Structure formats: C-alpha cells, structure tokens
Amino acid sequence: MSIESTGATVLVVDDSAVVRLLLARTLRADGFTVVEVAGGAEALEVCARQRPDLVLLDVEMPQMNGLEVLSVMAGDPDLAGVPVLMLTGLTSGPDVAKALELGAQDYLKKPCEPEELRARVRTALALKAKQDELSRRAEEFGAMSATDVLTGLGNRRQLEREVRVLTGMLAGSGRIAVLMLDLDHFKAINDRLGHLVGDEVLSGLASRLRKVVGERATIFRWGGEEFLVLVSSPDVVPAATLAEEIRAVVGSVPFEVSGGRLVPVTISIGVGAGTIESLSEVIGAADGALYEAKESGRNRVVVAGQ
C-alpha cells in the first residue's frame, strides 16, 4: 500500500490562507486528509483532539510561533512522536537549527514546489512508520526476554524490573517477603516419565500458583523447578500463611498429564523477610529456609529465623 493511499492526516499550520490553500490542494490530490489552522494555539488544540500523522508547521506566526508549538509538542508524550516539517522562508540560521534540535524531521522553504512537498511528506511518513515498527519489535522482544516461555511467568529479568518499581514505590526501605518454592523429587519425575511430562507438571504448577496467589503477590520462575514469590508486606505472617496455602493446594490433587496419567506432586517452601533494598539477603534467607524444609522431610514450609 502506498503512502498516498493510506489516508494519513496532515495538519497544515500557517497564518497565510494562500499558503494553506496551496499546500492542502497538493496533499488532498495525493489522497491525504488535510486539516488547516492559522495559528499555533489552534494547532495544539487540534493535536490534542485529533492526533495527526504529520504536521506542516510555519516558523513565523503571530502570538504563538512554530518553535513554541514544537516545544510544547516535544514535551508532550502523546505528541512527541508526531513527525513535523517546518515551513520557513529561510534555509539556514538559528530558527531552523532550533527546530531541528526540538525534533523537527526536516524543513520546507516557502514557496515549495508540489513535487518537493510530496517527496518530503512521503519520506517523513515512511521514516515514522519504520520507527514505529522498530519500537513495536523492541517492545515485543523486551516482553519475551522477561518471560519464561514454558510457564508464562516472569523470569529473573522481570524480577529485576519489578524490584526497581517496588524500590521507587517503597522508597527502598519498604518491607517485603520472599517465598522460594521447589518441587519435591522433580528429578525422579523427569527420570521416570520423561522431560515432556516434567514440563507439563511445571506448567500446571504455574497455573495453580496463579490461582492461589491472585493479586496478593508476584510469581517468577527462578530456574529449573524453583519458583519465587515476591510479597509486599510489612509482616512475615501473611507470607507464611500464603506459603501454607500454596503447599496445601499443590499437594491436594495430582497433576493430570498427557495420556490421562496422574502425577502426585508436593512442594517445599522457604520464607524470608526484610527490606526491598536488601532483597539479595532476603532471597538468601528464603533459600536457606527452603534447604531446611527439604532436609527435614519436604512438603513443608520453613520460615527463616524461626
């Protein structure tokens, strides 16, 4: 599909009715939707109401000039990405330089030839389309890189992001608790039934964890058969209670896997508590409590320091 046939909306901002007429005529002939305004304040109103795909913006206008409009747009997250071509009678000088510094893609010297106008507009829109596609792919890659493929849970990278958010919210000294979970005898499941069945068990465990935990905490796959649950709480008691709920639910009903086979599973959990800024120490305490739970018989919850 060509740029001309997309029906992109171009906002033309110029205090000269003649200039607006000539620009609009050329653009409409190429299939663009054109909105015309005579001043900077009107331009910002249109942008807020109807985000255009591109703005042709006159530099020299009374009351609010093009540089002032561009500065406002650059400071607005919703408008900063809108491509802007400046309209000017100059080809150099501080105004043109300032416009480019503020984010204008290019400039057109008035009066501009129709072919040049078409070419600059097409180029600006094509460049914006490529930038949007790159941003979309980057977001998808970022989401994928922070998500465990098997369980759909966040991985360690996602935990780092979550911790940064919590650190800002809790000012670094907020209390948190960590649950370290480990499936009991998981190696035996893999050895006896195969790794595909083991993967089914892990995926099923993630589903059960989501149902039990709900909105009370955030779950991450720590690695292998280990999971980490991050709880924002000033007291370790709610975290220990949640851990007991998880242990009971996981062990209450066997997991159904391929072929209708039922696989009984139990889980051991260690609980640690502390401040968000000392997360590594909290994780270490929870991991130590998990080791104690497994050494003392498995299928149990141990709270660090108790």
What amino acid positions are annotated as catalytic residues?
A: 225
Kindly report the number of other CB atoms within 10 A of residue 219's CB atom.
21
pTM reported for the whole predicted model = 0.57
- pLDDT single digits (tens) 89-130: 765 567 777 878 887 888 888 888 899 999 989 988 988 888
- Phi/psi at 25 (nearest 5 deg)? -60, -45
Find the angle CA(6)-CA(7)-CA(9) to the nearest 5 degrees: 125
| Averaged pLDDT score across all residues of the chain | 87
User: Which residues are registered as beta bridge partners of 301?
Assistant: 269
Q: pLDDT tens digits for 204-213?
A: 999 999 999 9
Predicted pLDDT of residue 94? 77
Other residues' Cβ atoms within 10 Å of the Cβ of residue 97? 10
Confidence label for 1 from pLDDT (cuts 50, 70 and 90): very low
**Contact present, 80 and 112 (Cβ < 8 Å):** no
Residue range 156-303, CATH number: 3.30.70.270
Query: Which residues does 300 contact at the CB level (< 8 Å), separation at least 6?
Result: 247, 268, 269, 293
Pick the CATH number of 3-142 from 3.40.50.2300, 3.40.50.2000, 3.40.720.10, 3.20.20.140: 3.40.50.2300
The domain spans of the chain are 3-142, 156-303
Q: Under DSSP, is residue 290 helix (H, G, I), strand (E, B) or coil? A: helix
CA angle at residue 175 from 174 to 177, to 5 degrees?
A: 140
pLDDT in tens, 3-57: 444 679 999 999 999 999 999 999 999 999 999 999 999 999 999 998 999 999 9
Q: Which pLDDT value is given to residue 91?
A: 57
Q: What is the DSSP string of 129-165?
A: HHHHHHHHHHHHHHHHHTB-TTT--B-HHHHHHHHHH
